[in-house]
Amino acid sequence: MKIALLTGASSGLGKEFAKKIHAVFPEIDEVWCVARRQERLEELKNEVKDAKLLPVCADITNTSDVKRIFERVKAENAEISLLINNAGCGFHGAFADADLSEQERCMNLNILAMTRFTRYALDFMPKGARILTTSSIASFVPNANMAVYSASKAYATFFSRALNEELRASRRSATAVCPAPMNTEFLTVGHVKGNSKTFDRLPYCDVAKVALGALNAAKLRKAVYTPRAFYKFYRVLARILPEGLLVKLAKT
């Protein structure tokens, strides 16, 4: 049985991934949707009306939950054809004034949990399998007032790109998707809405288009996917302009 394993599935970009996986990867037998909120997962299943969508209530920062997921993968003799590391969080505000527990949660989820989950998954990923990791344009340049978030996403992008090279010999691949702001609950939960003039000025990405574009990029085994010409240009600028200038421009 070929499965897609999707974390952070209950809202935002994760929800759109769940809706569109079979459009790009029709060969996948089941989509295992992992999230902490059971009621949101049930709502997703009812909304998508896909018998191949399997809700899995778990917290990927909890090692016991993660082990339980992969014990089930092994018991059902499943092959992970597609892993989507989408679970993540971020919080706006000056680091010196930040709630430390929120920043620790950001690091734990965006870095440690994602890395651990990927390592467990690789043991069940055959030749030809793909990994898609949700990063951000914040990974291109350090973002003042979102210092921990941008640093964690830099880790995600660098980790994914390095892993893509390592996996090449086994004909597997890893793609980092680096979107810009989207109208999701991230903006509210992360204290961004109403607190950042930068976010108010930036052109937003359409969540559904980002999901479909990222899946197609994974299908083509691209190392990085950045939607919209504006942000592709920003990615180029991040490579050629002095970092000191870019940090000032990228301040949120």
Looking at the annotation, which residues are catalytic?
Answer: 149
State how beta strands 2-7 and 53-57 pair: unpaired
The residue among 42, 18, 1 whose CA lies nearest residue 132 is 18
Angle between helices 38-48 and 12-24 (to 10 degrees): 40
Give the span between the Cα atoms of 53 and 3, in whole angstroms: 10
Torsions phi, psi for 62 (to 5 deg): -95, 115
Q: Which residues contact 175 (CB under 8 A, 6 or more apart)?
A: 130, 131, 132, 133, 160, 164, 214, 217, 218, 221, 222, 223, 224, 225
In this structure, are strands 79-85 and 53-57 parallel, antiparallel, or unpaired? unpaired
- Name the 3-class secondary structure at 133: strand
Which two tokens mark 88? 């993540």
C-alpha span between 208 and 212 (Å, rounded): 6
